Amino acid sequence: MKINELKSEGLKKSYKVVISKEDFAKDIDNKLSQIAKKAKIQGFRAGKAPLSMVKKKFLNEVMSEALDDAVRNGSNQVLSDNKLRPVSQPAIKITSFGEGKDLEFDMDVEILPEIKLGDFTKISLDKYTAEVPAAEVDKAVKYLAEARKESVKVDGKKAAKGDVVMIDFVGSIDGVEFNGGKGNDYPLELGSGSFIPGFEDQLIGSEAGSKVDVKVKFPDTYHAKDLAGKDAVFAVTVKEVREPKAVEINDELAKSLGAESLDKLKETLSSRIKSDYDNASRMKLKRQLLDVLDSEYSFEVPASLVDAEYQAIVNQYEQAKKYNQLDEEEKNKKEEDLLKEYKDIAVRRVKLGLLLSEVGQNAKISIKPEDINAAIMNEAKRYPGQEQMVLDYYLKNKQAVEALKAPIFEEKIIDYIISQAKLNEKVVSVEELYKFDEEKKSAKKSSKKSA
């Protein structure tokens, strides 16, 4: 086998591989000999047919198999001899093939870059933490009490802001009813902002038995494109006016929420809020670390990986654009500027992904069953009261479990680096803890991937 390098441009390399006709013929003869030992050909006992007849019947099949083996072994030899780590399967182009000919093929391969890891103990990071204010706990208790409040029917009362009106309604545009614009016995709290802007205000002052034509305009960004920006009229019948009945904040409320007492409820809420603060702290610390790594490391990234990542971001953008879900910053930018920004984000993600992967391999970081179990339990905690349903979902869905492995691996690598870095503990206000504006650019589109 002869291997010659044809071209080398950064991470893209091309080779020519030549396997002599003698070696290729020898491989074919060996395969035919193996087949001949068991071949069943009419007029002969199994394995007793002449090799010439075996060759005539099986040559095309054997040549195809030999070609596959030769290309696979040849490309593996190229990678092994040159110590190359391919991004994906090499591209193969057969340039010479046939009985009595040398087998020749060209091989194009894109490789992973060599990354020299530095000393992580020289990294300095600020770790922000915040204490849970008592007022925040009281606010959470009040929110729970508000969620459990009931309303009582009041005859002869004119609806005011904060009251609940029981209504039937039918929506129409240009006199024609539209899908999803009809409802019966709907409890609407006036001032809640749960309906289209302007809807609730027009029911203030109504009373049981009132019929009101509510005229509104759907927002331009309304999720249903056929309704966005259009004027509509809702024929509303007010059936009841109800006043909210305050819920007392005491031990009885706490017990109704599953706590032993109001003090225990506050302890639980304080713990949950602190957990939220810790998550925000972790997010800031991780983003800060990724920014440092992005700044300190410089190496070429595979174009194919960048293109794939870029296309994924663009597809996400196109979907958001289609359903009027772009944020204000995106709406106010020229598309060409956005696409350039997305390209930069794609490069950053690929770069950091490769860097973290290199750290993981170098540090021999692996995912253990207990890591997966912990991730599943954390996921279940996000859905209070539905924990068992979440656990059952992962128990029955292997793909969902597999999807957890990549983020688990990344977080373990981040933990490994942070454990070596110097951390400067800083106690800050809650407002400062949740201030991410200065990191917005690097975090853009981070809902898909954290890097």
The pLDDT value given to residue 437: 58
Please provide the average confidence, as pLDDT, over all residues in the chain: 92
Joined together, the tokens standing for residue 103 give 């087998």
Instruction: Count Cβ atoms below 10 Å from residue 305 Cβ, excluding itself.
Output: 21
pLDDT, tens digit, 9 for 90 and up, residues 288-344: 999 999 999 999 999 999 999 999 999 999 999 888 888 888 888 999 999 999 999
Instruction: Please enumerate in sequence order all residues whose Cβ is within 8 A of that of 252, keeping only pairs 6 or more positions apart, or say none.
Output: none
Q: Quickly list DSSP for 39-51.
A: ---TTS-TT-S-H
pLDDT, tens digit, 9 for 90 and up, residues 33-46: 888 888 888 777 77
Whether 309 contacts 438, CB under 8 Å? no
Give the CA distances from residue 229 to residues 182, 293, 305, 333, in Å, rounded to whole numbers and listed in that order. 19, 45, 40, 22
Joined together, the tokens standing for residue 348 give 């950053």
In the predicted structure, residue 439 carries a pLDDT above the cut 50: no
pLDDT, tens digit, 9 for 90 and up, residues 377-395: 988 988 878 889 999 999 9
Give Dmax (Cα) for the chain. 107
Sign of torsion, CA 248 254 260 264? negative
In the predicted structure, residue 177 carries a pLDDT above the cut 90: yes
* Strand, helix or coil for residue 82: coil
Choose the weakest-confidence range: 14-18, 89-93, 106-110, 246-250. 246-250
In degrees to the nearest 10, what's the CA dihedral of 48, 51, 52, 53?
A: 40
The pLDDT value given to residue 438: 46
Q: How far, in Å, CA of 187 to CA of 423, rounded? A: 52
The pLDDT value given to residue 444: 45
Whether 253 contacts 145, CB under 8 Å? yes
Joined together, the tokens standing for residue 19 give 């396997």
In the predicted structure, residue 448 carries a pLDDT above the cut 90: no
